[in-house]
Amino acid sequence: MRKLIILMAILAVSACQEPAATSADIEIYEFGIEPSVTSFEAGTVTLNVENTGEYGHTLVITDTGGHVLSAGSVIAPGETSQVSVDLAEGEYSFTCRIVSQDGGGNVIDHYEQGMLAEVVVGAG
């Protein structure tokens, strides 16, 4: 009986996990990044990025060592961009790395304001 309960628990947990994907929609805005999925298969991943905010944003993809794998150009408000990147098994960060200054001289760092999403890439 105990083995059956453990097996049922494992199946329930794995059923709740989202399946690994090879593409996703990414919404960027002040100040957030929202991927439609956060689990990808290893290999080429295609990201359809839409800026729904009022200001320009970028999508920068880095690994856990801080190495930049992809850094797109600024995406204007209301615009979209498509990014394809090869990702090996591991964990990655999607960020916006724009730093600007407002009219009062205050520095606005999009990353520090919360423009960060963490994703995981499995073996595929």
The H or E element containing residue 6 is helix 2-16
Looking only at Cα atoms, what is the longest distance across the chain? 67
Q: Where are the domains of the chain?
A: 19-122
pLDDT for residue 54: 95
One digit per residue, the tens of pLDDT, for the chain of length 124 reads 554 455 455 555 444 556 689 999 999 999 999 999 999 999 999 999 999 999 999 999 999 999 999 998 999 999 999 999 999 999 999 999 999 998 999 999 999 999 999 999 997 6
SS3 114: coil
Pick the CATH number of 19-122 from 3.40.50.1360, 2.60.40.420, 2.40.128.50, 2.40.10.170: 2.60.40.420
**b/e 81-92 (16+ beta carbons within 10 angstroms → b):** bebeeebeeeeb
pLDDT for residue 123: 79
The whole-model pTM stands at 0.82
- What are the φ and ψ backbone dihedral angles of 96, each rounded to 5 degrees? -115, 125
pLDDT for residue 15: 47
